[in-house]
Structure 1
Amino acid sequence: MPMPGADKTTDAKEGVLTYMRAWGESSVPPTALATLITAQHFRPFQKLPMLFVPVLLFSSYLNLNGFPVDSAGVTSAWSAAYLVVARRRKQAFTSKFGARGAIRGLTLGLCAANIVSGGLAYTFGKREAREE
Protein backbone atom coordinates (compact mmCIF):
# COMPACT_ATOMS: atom_id res chain seq x y z
CA MET A 1 0.00 0.00 0.00
CA PRO A 2 1.58 3.28 -1.06
CA MET A 3 2.12 6.02 1.44
CA PRO A 4 -0.12 9.06 1.10
CA GLY A 5 1.59 11.76 -0.89
CA ALA A 6 4.17 9.38 -2.38
CA ASP A 7 4.85 10.00 -6.04
CA LYS A 8 5.24 6.81 -8.07
CA THR A 9 6.71 8.59 -11.10
CA THR A 10 9.64 9.90 -9.05
CA ASP A 11 10.43 6.38 -7.84
CA ALA A 12 10.24 5.06 -11.40
CA LYS A 13 12.50 7.82 -12.75
CA GLU A 14 15.05 7.23 -10.02
CA GLY A 15 14.96 3.52 -10.84
CA VAL A 16 15.58 4.11 -14.55
CA LEU A 17 18.34 6.62 -13.87
CA THR A 18 19.97 4.26 -11.39
CA TYR A 19 19.78 1.42 -13.90
CA MET A 20 21.26 3.59 -16.66
CA ARG A 21 24.08 4.79 -14.41
CA ALA A 22 24.87 1.19 -13.42
CA TRP A 23 24.92 0.27 -17.13
CA GLY A 24 27.34 3.12 -17.79
CA GLU A 25 29.65 2.05 -14.98
CA SER A 26 29.73 -1.60 -16.09
CA SER A 27 32.63 -3.16 -18.00
CA VAL A 28 30.37 -5.30 -20.20
CA PRO A 29 28.95 -2.67 -22.65
CA PRO A 30 32.31 -1.54 -24.09
CA THR A 31 33.40 -5.16 -24.50
CA ALA A 32 30.11 -6.09 -26.19
CA LEU A 33 30.40 -3.09 -28.51
CA ALA A 34 34.00 -4.02 -29.40
CA THR A 35 32.82 -7.55 -30.19
CA LEU A 36 30.02 -6.33 -32.46
CA ILE A 37 32.34 -3.90 -34.26
CA THR A 38 34.83 -6.70 -34.83
CA ALA A 39 32.07 -8.96 -36.17
CA GLN A 40 31.12 -6.33 -38.74
CA HIS A 41 34.46 -5.00 -39.89
CA PHE A 42 37.02 -7.80 -39.54
CA ARG A 43 36.18 -9.54 -42.84
CA PRO A 44 36.79 -7.72 -45.10
CA PHE A 45 39.13 -5.79 -42.85
CA GLN A 46 38.27 -2.08 -42.55
CA LYS A 47 40.92 0.04 -40.85
CA LEU A 48 38.93 2.99 -39.52
CA PRO A 49 36.17 1.11 -37.66
CA MET A 50 38.68 -1.40 -36.27
CA LEU A 51 40.56 1.47 -34.57
CA PHE A 52 37.67 1.73 -32.11
CA VAL A 53 38.06 -1.83 -30.79
CA PRO A 54 41.31 -1.38 -28.76
CA VAL A 55 40.04 1.85 -27.21
CA LEU A 56 36.79 0.20 -26.10
CA LEU A 57 38.68 -2.77 -24.67
CA PHE A 58 40.98 -0.35 -22.84
CA SER A 59 37.88 1.32 -21.42
CA SER A 60 36.77 -2.04 -20.06
CA TYR A 61 40.26 -2.53 -18.61
CA LEU A 62 40.04 0.86 -16.88
CA ASN A 63 36.72 -0.12 -15.36
CA LEU A 64 38.08 -3.39 -14.00
CA ASN A 65 41.02 -1.55 -12.44
CA GLY A 66 38.81 0.73 -10.35
CA PHE A 67 38.08 3.71 -12.59
CA PRO A 68 34.39 3.24 -13.48
CA VAL A 69 33.63 6.96 -13.91
CA ASP A 70 36.55 7.56 -16.26
CA SER A 71 35.72 4.37 -18.14
CA ALA A 72 32.14 5.57 -18.59
CA GLY A 73 33.39 8.82 -20.13
CA VAL A 74 35.73 7.03 -22.55
CA THR A 75 33.02 4.56 -23.54
CA SER A 76 30.48 7.32 -24.10
CA ALA A 77 32.81 9.46 -26.20
CA TRP A 78 34.10 6.64 -28.38
CA SER A 79 30.61 5.19 -28.84
CA ALA A 80 29.47 8.59 -30.11
CA ALA A 81 32.43 8.75 -32.47
CA TYR A 82 31.69 5.28 -33.83
CA LEU A 83 28.02 6.17 -34.24
CA VAL A 84 29.01 9.17 -36.38
CA VAL A 85 31.36 7.05 -38.50
CA ALA A 86 28.84 4.22 -38.91
CA ARG A 87 25.94 6.52 -39.81
CA ARG A 88 27.94 8.00 -42.69
CA ARG A 89 27.73 4.69 -44.56
CA LYS A 90 24.43 4.31 -46.36
CA GLN A 91 22.64 0.98 -46.25
CA ALA A 92 20.15 -0.25 -48.84
CA PHE A 93 16.65 -0.88 -47.54
CA THR A 94 16.70 -4.59 -48.43
CA SER A 95 20.00 -5.23 -46.61
CA LYS A 96 18.58 -3.99 -43.30
CA PHE A 97 16.76 -7.26 -42.72
CA GLY A 98 19.62 -9.73 -43.13
CA ALA A 99 22.10 -10.93 -40.56
CA ARG A 100 24.53 -8.07 -41.27
CA GLY A 101 21.75 -5.51 -41.04
CA ALA A 102 20.56 -6.92 -37.72
CA ILE A 103 24.08 -6.81 -36.28
CA ARG A 104 24.54 -3.26 -37.56
CA GLY A 105 21.26 -2.19 -35.95
CA LEU A 106 22.22 -3.88 -32.69
CA THR A 107 25.61 -2.14 -32.78
CA LEU A 108 24.11 1.30 -33.37
CA GLY A 109 21.52 0.71 -30.64
CA LEU A 110 24.25 -0.30 -28.20
CA CYS A 111 26.19 2.83 -29.17
CA ALA A 112 23.18 4.98 -28.37
CA ALA A 113 22.67 3.24 -25.02
CA ASN A 114 26.36 3.67 -24.19
CA ILE A 115 26.27 7.36 -25.07
CA VAL A 116 23.33 8.07 -22.78
CA SER A 117 24.25 5.80 -19.88
CA GLY A 118 27.99 6.49 -20.04
CA GLY A 119 27.40 10.22 -20.18
CA LEU A 120 25.06 9.99 -17.22
CA ALA A 121 27.56 7.92 -15.23
CA TYR A 122 30.41 10.27 -16.11
CA THR A 123 28.42 13.42 -15.31
CA PHE A 124 27.00 12.28 -11.98
CA GLY A 125 29.67 9.75 -10.96
CA LYS A 126 31.68 10.20 -7.81
CA ARG A 127 35.38 9.57 -7.67
CA GLU A 128 36.77 8.21 -4.43
CA ALA A 129 39.88 9.87 -3.06
CA ARG A 130 42.71 7.43 -3.72
CA GLU A 131 45.12 6.89 -0.87
CA GLU A 132 48.75 6.87 -1.86
Structure 2
Amino acid sequence: MKKNREIFDVGFSLHVLRFGVWVVSFMGFLPEAFSRACIRDNSKGLNIIISNTPGPQTPLFFCDKEVIDIGGIGPNVGTSGLTILISSYCGRVKLQMLVDDNLRMDPHKLLAHLEGQVDE
Protein backbone atom coordinates (compact mmCIF):
# COMPACT_ATOMS: atom_id res chain seq x y z
CA MET A 1 0.00 0.00 0.00
CA LYS A 2 1.49 3.32 -1.09
CA LYS A 3 1.63 6.09 1.50
CA ASN A 4 0.13 9.40 0.50
CA ARG A 5 2.49 11.90 2.08
CA GLU A 6 0.59 14.99 0.95
CA ILE A 7 -2.93 14.42 2.25
CA PHE A 8 -4.07 11.52 4.38
CA ASP A 9 -7.53 10.23 5.08
CA VAL A 10 -8.42 12.67 7.86
CA GLY A 11 -8.30 15.51 5.34
CA PHE A 12 -5.18 17.08 6.80
CA SER A 13 -2.43 18.59 4.63
CA LEU A 14 1.17 18.02 5.72
CA HIS A 15 2.13 21.29 4.01
CA VAL A 16 -0.23 23.13 6.35
CA LEU A 17 1.21 21.22 9.32
CA ARG A 18 4.79 22.14 8.35
CA PHE A 19 3.83 25.80 7.89
CA GLY A 20 2.09 25.78 11.28
CA VAL A 21 5.21 24.40 12.96
CA TRP A 22 7.27 27.18 11.35
CA VAL A 23 4.81 29.87 12.51
CA VAL A 24 4.72 28.55 16.09
CA SER A 25 8.53 28.35 16.18
CA PHE A 26 8.81 31.92 14.88
CA MET A 27 6.30 33.22 17.45
CA GLY A 28 8.67 32.12 20.21
CA PHE A 29 11.13 34.83 19.16
CA LEU A 30 8.58 37.66 19.36
CA PRO A 31 7.72 39.70 22.48
CA GLU A 32 5.01 38.02 24.56
CA ALA A 33 2.51 40.89 24.24
CA PHE A 34 2.79 40.79 20.44
CA SER A 35 2.42 36.99 20.33
CA ARG A 36 -0.68 37.13 22.53
CA ALA A 37 -2.22 39.84 20.35
CA CYS A 38 -1.56 37.78 17.19
CA ILE A 39 -3.17 34.70 18.70
CA ARG A 40 -6.13 36.68 20.06
CA ASP A 41 -6.75 38.49 16.76
CA ASN A 42 -6.50 35.32 14.68
CA SER A 43 -8.06 32.79 17.04
CA LYS A 44 -11.16 32.31 14.88
CA GLY A 45 -9.05 30.45 12.34
CA LEU A 46 -7.02 28.54 14.92
CA ASN A 47 -7.82 24.85 15.17
CA ILE A 48 -4.48 23.21 15.93
CA ILE A 49 -1.56 24.02 18.23
CA ILE A 50 1.78 22.27 17.78
CA SER A 51 4.59 22.52 20.29
CA ASN A 52 7.99 20.93 19.86
CA THR A 53 10.14 21.22 22.95
CA PRO A 54 13.57 19.61 22.97
CA GLY A 55 14.43 18.23 26.36
CA PRO A 56 17.72 17.38 28.03
CA GLN A 57 19.75 14.64 26.39
CA THR A 58 21.42 13.58 29.63
CA PRO A 59 19.54 12.20 32.64
CA LEU A 60 18.20 14.62 35.24
CA PHE A 61 18.16 13.95 38.97
CA PHE A 62 15.67 15.08 41.62
CA CYS A 63 16.44 14.43 45.31
CA ASP A 64 19.23 12.04 44.26
CA LYS A 65 16.83 9.96 42.14
CA GLU A 66 17.05 9.75 38.35
CA VAL A 67 14.13 11.24 36.47
CA ILE A 68 12.80 8.44 34.26
CA ASP A 69 10.56 10.47 31.94
CA ILE A 70 9.22 13.97 31.44
CA GLY A 71 6.14 15.25 29.66
CA GLY A 72 4.45 18.48 28.79
CA ILE A 73 1.07 20.05 29.17
CA GLY A 74 -0.42 21.90 26.23
CA PRO A 75 -3.22 24.42 26.11
CA ASN A 76 -6.56 23.74 24.50
CA VAL A 77 -7.71 27.33 24.09
CA GLY A 78 -10.27 29.24 22.05
CA THR A 79 -11.32 27.35 18.95
CA SER A 80 -8.40 24.94 19.13
CA GLY A 81 -9.62 21.40 18.56
CA LEU A 82 -6.25 19.67 18.62
CA THR A 83 -2.98 20.23 20.46
CA ILE A 84 0.08 18.15 19.54
CA LEU A 85 3.04 18.11 21.91
CA ILE A 86 6.39 16.73 20.78
CA SER A 87 9.07 16.46 23.45
CA SER A 88 12.30 14.57 23.97
CA TYR A 89 14.31 13.26 26.89
CA CYS A 90 17.54 11.25 26.84
CA GLY A 91 17.29 10.34 23.17
CA ARG A 92 13.60 9.36 23.27
CA VAL A 93 10.81 11.30 21.56
CA LYS A 94 7.31 11.54 23.04
CA LEU A 95 4.23 12.49 21.02
CA GLN A 96 1.18 13.62 23.00
CA MET A 97 -2.21 14.81 21.76
CA LEU A 98 -4.97 16.78 23.47
CA VAL A 99 -8.20 16.46 21.47
CA ASP A 100 -11.50 18.31 21.81
CA ASP A 101 -14.52 15.99 22.08
CA ASN A 102 -16.21 17.89 19.23
CA LEU A 103 -13.40 17.25 16.74
CA ARG A 104 -14.81 15.58 13.62
CA MET A 105 -11.78 13.49 12.81
CA ASP A 106 -10.45 10.31 14.32
CA PRO A 107 -7.37 11.30 16.36
CA HIS A 108 -6.16 7.68 16.31
CA LYS A 109 -5.68 7.88 12.52
CA LEU A 110 -3.68 11.08 12.86
CA LEU A 111 -1.57 9.59 15.65
CA ALA A 112 -0.88 6.45 13.60
CA HIS A 113 0.20 8.59 10.65
CA LEU A 114 2.47 10.79 12.78
CA GLU A 115 4.05 7.74 14.43
CA GLY A 116 4.76 6.34 10.96
CA GLN A 117 6.46 9.60 9.96
CA VAL A 118 8.62 9.55 13.10
CA ASP A 119 9.71 5.98 12.33
CA GLU A 120 10.95 7.08 8.89
Query: So what's the TM-score if we normalise by structure 2?
Result: 0.28
The structure where strand makes up a greater share of residues is 2
Considering Cα pairs closer than 8 Å and 6+ residues apart, tell me whether 1 or 2 has the greater RCO. Answer: 1
Query: So what's the TM-score if we normalise by structure 1?
Result: 0.26
The structure where helix makes up a greater share of residues is 1
